[in-house]
Amino acid sequence: MGAVYLVRHGQASFGAADYDVLSELGHAQARAVGIELARRDVAVSLARSGTLSRQRVTAEVALAECCPDGTVEIDARWNEYDHVDIVARHGGGGAQEDADPQAYQGVLEKALREWIEAGASSPCAETWPMFLDRVRGAFDDLVSSLGKGSRAVVFTSGGVIATLCGTLLGDPATGFLSLNRVTVNAGLTKIVTGRSGTTLLSFNEHGHFDGEAAESLTYR
């Protein structure tokens, strides 16, 4: 069977002028997930990443630990939804506030629900159906590129991972809303593919942040 490992990027810079930058902790998380992939002896056949800085840098740092000679294919279809645009147009609006990320999370989740419910009528530059189509397309193309027994690693974001997991479980919208909020930074999700189809094997693994590394566990 082939396998796809979806890796959420390390912690970004919430509340900063440029969110799309790994924090110091984010760099450490990226290294930790790379070490975990090396510990599992994952022989990486394909590596892909979105174009966002937090995704690309996570890929660079992680692969230095598990596949130093590997190269990453950059594909914008693995990018996260535009949370700034969505919150500006749905859910009453709101800005990221470093002092109260939990309050912003509530605003974001309300906006995401409205964004999904609006469907193609959303005023956002990318509607939920558009987001869903591009994420599914990126995944389908990746799976079609996998050879027998191949291992692919994709460095992406929580919303993308939650959407794909929801799709495999039969309900992308519910999966997105339920799973997106609990994806951890630099967590691992494993999907296997073979003659019987494509199956979600594990979601959001983060044992590499247990024990002494527990302080490195973050959700935002």
pLDDT digits (tens, 9 = 90+) for 129-163: 999 999 999 999 999 999 888 999 999 999 999 99
Q: What is the pLDDT of residue 194?
A: 87
- Which phi and psi angles does 71 have, rounded to 5°? -120, 155
Q: How far apart are the C-alpha atoms of 110 and 18, rounded to whole Å?
A: 23
In this predicted structure, the answer to whether residue 105 has a pLDDT above a threshold of 90 is: no
24-39 vs 53-66: helix axis angle to the nearest 10?
40
The answer to whether the CB of 64 falls within 8 A of the CB of 89 is no
Q: What is the pLDDT of residue 214?
A: 92
Of 13-27, 92-106, 175-189, 191-205, minimum mean pLDDT range: 92-106
Q: How far apart are the C-alpha atoms of 128 and 25, rounded to whole Å?
A: 31
Q: What mean pLDDT is predicted for residues 28-56?
A: 97
Q: How far apart are the C-alpha atoms of 199 and 165, rounded to whole Å?
A: 9
Tokens of 150: 């191949």
Q: Quote the pTM value.
A: 0.93
Tell whether the torsion through CA atoms of 114, 115, 119 and 121 is positive or negative: positive
Nearest Cα neighbor of 183 from 3, 7, 4 is 7
Strand ranges for the chain from DSSP E: 2-8, 46-49, 73-74, 151-156, 188-194, 197-205
β-sheet bridge partners, residue 47: 153
Question: HSE-up of 119 (CA within 13 Å, CB side)?
Answer: 1
Q: How many residues does the chain have?
A: 220
Helix (H) or strand (E) holding 9: none
Higher pLDDT, 52 or 93: 52
Q: How far apart are the C-alpha atoms of 180 and 177, rounded to whole Å?
A: 6
Kindly give the pairing relationship between strand 46-49 and strand 73-74: parallel
Q: How far apart are the C-alpha atoms of 109 and 211, rounded to whole Å?
A: 30
